[in-house]
Amino acid sequence: MYKKISIIGAGGWGTALALLLAENRTAVRLWAHNPEVTKELVSQRTNEDYLPGVRLPPNVYATGNLADTLDADLMLLVPPSKALREVCGKLAGLGLPKEAVIVSCTKGLEHDTGKLMSEIIEEILPENPVAVLSGPNHAEEVAQRIPAAGVLGSKSPELLEPLQRVFSLPTFRAYTSDDVMGIQLGGALKNIFAIGAGVSDGFNMGDNAKAGLVTRALAEMMRLGIAMGGRRETFFGLSGVGDLMVTCFSRHSRNRKVGERLGRGESPAQIQESMQMVAEGIPTALSAWQVAQKLGIEAPITYEIYSVLYENKPPHEAMWGLLGRPPKPESDRDHRQG
Ligand SMILES: NC(=O)C1=CN([C@@H]2O[C@H](COP(=O)(O)OP(=O)(O)OC[C@H]3O[C@@H](n4cnc5c(N)ncnc54)[C@H](O)[C@@H]3O)[C@@H](O)[C@H]2O)C=CC1
Ligand SMILES: O=C(CO)COP(=O)(O)O
């Protein structure tokens, strides 16, 4: 069992994971990027801006000094995706021991390279064992010990059993998989579709429209995800349809809220300026559209969300763009493996 756990990133998810893993009575170090957050975590034991209503237990040590986190046998990386490369570079520069097992809990796809988080980690910290965690896991509920399930993925099967033990807690059920790409692709792509589901909510379009959109989003997630190296069955699991459902329907989802505000008439710039928390669907829409073009994959929902966010396309035009596509069979060969 891991004895020294460090969590890099004290946003909502990093803080919720600290509370969860602290239940094992293990020492947990929680690193915050923002000095104000560090101050509050240390002095008040709270994180009101990112995860209101929780209190850190005594075995969680908050720090703003990354060097304090290096003495760890398990390190969870939970920064926003755009900061992951920088964070890994800093850890490498500080000499993170190569034995430390790294678990990426961040959901995203890098601009221009199209790399998943595990690929960035392996590039910068090539000697450390790497795993990922994904699934339908809103921090607000996990922190309140409302039951949830997630999936741990690694290419190294020997990592999965000890990780599963650490993450198996009374209110958290951890499954395992060797489809590291598929798990991360579901977690990254669903954020784009949740923006679309939010636009549908913002337009008050009704339940039929949203169910239709989310179902076609699953087809698109699979088309793109399989082309990028994920396995078909993974998209039917917790990190695929599971996370797609929770993010498209939950009142907690930041991505769904971004879409709702777009549907109600706010501009992408207005929304981003007023949002402190990260909505990964915004950067991921650009990365995924870049990848879809490169691979020649049909990705109409990704394209429309990208156009609204980056090309000032009015959301109602995006919606009509989707409805006005040429008729096609529901099940085409893109749904099949390979
Ligand atoms: N909130 C949730 O329920 C879940 C979030 N995730 C994923 O976890 C990742 C982090 O999300 P949240 O914790 O929700 O974020 P958040 O929006 O709650 O907080 C973002 C955090 O990132 C920090 N930050 C900003 N710039 C940074 C930089 N350059 N370097 C390091 N840290 C920086 C901020 O200070 C803040 O603490 C995202 O990829 C998200 O998709 C995954 C599962 C659940
Ligand atoms: O990944 C998440 C839930 O599984 C969090 O989604 P949001 O970032 O949209 O809140």
Do residues 101 and 163 touch, judged by C-beta distance below 8 A? yes
Query: How far, in Å, is the centroid of ligand 2 from the Cα of 243?
Result: 8
Phi, psi of 279 (to 5 degrees): -120, 95
Query: How far, in Å, is the centroid of ligand 2 from the Cα of 253?
Result: 5
Q: Which CATH class is domain 186-335?
A: mainly alpha
The pLDDT, as a whole number, for residue 112 is 97
The strands making up 130-134's β-sheet, listed across from edge to edge, are: 60-63, 27-31, 4-8, 74-77, 101-104, 130-134, 148-153, 172-177
What global pTM score does this model have? 0.97
Give 207's DSSP letter: H
Fold of 4-178: Rossmann fold (3.40.50)
Alpha-carbon span 206 to 197, nearest angstrom:
11
Could you confirm whether 190 is annotated as catalytic?
yes
Q: Domain spans of the chain?
A: 4-178, 186-335
Q: Which of 190, 210, 313, 328 is catalytic?
A: 190
138 lines ligand 1 (CB under 6 A): yes
User: Most distant CA pair in the chain: distance in Å?
Assistant: 60
DSSP 33-75: SSHHHHHHHHHTS--TTTSTT----TTEEEES-GGGG-S-SEE
Residues 6+ apart with CB under 8 A from 294: 114
Residue 95 in marked binding region: no
Q: What residue type is assigned to position 248 of the chain?
A: C
Task: List the pLDDT tens digit at each of the 338 positions of the chain.
Answer: 899 999 999 999 999 999 999 999 899 999 999 999 999 999 999 999 999 999 999 999 999 999 999 999 999 999 999 999 999 999 999 999 999 999 999 999 999 999 999 999 999 999 999 999 999 999 999 999 999 999 999 999 999 999 999 999 999 999 999 999 999 999 999 999 999 999 999 999 999 999 999 999 999 999 999 999 999 999 999 999 999 999 999 999 999 999 999 999 999 999 999 999 999 999 999 999 999 999 999 999 999 999 999 999 999 999 999 999 999 999 866 544 33
- Closest CA relative to residue 194, chosen from 116, 301, 46: 301
The pLDDT, as a whole number, for residue 338 is 35
For residue 26, the SS3 value is: coil
CA dist 225 → 103, 110, 262, 293, 297 (Å): 21, 15, 26, 14, 10
Strands (E), the chain: 4-8, 27-31, 60-63, 74-77, 101-104, 130-134, 148-153, 172-177
Query: How far, in Å, is the centroid of ligand 1 from the Cα of 124?
Result: 20
Protein residue with its CA nearest to atom 17 in ligand 1: 277
Cα angle 191-263-246, degrees, rounded to a multiple of 5: 30
Give 109's DSSP letter: B
First to last CA, the chain: 39
The pLDDT, as a whole number, for residue 206 is 95
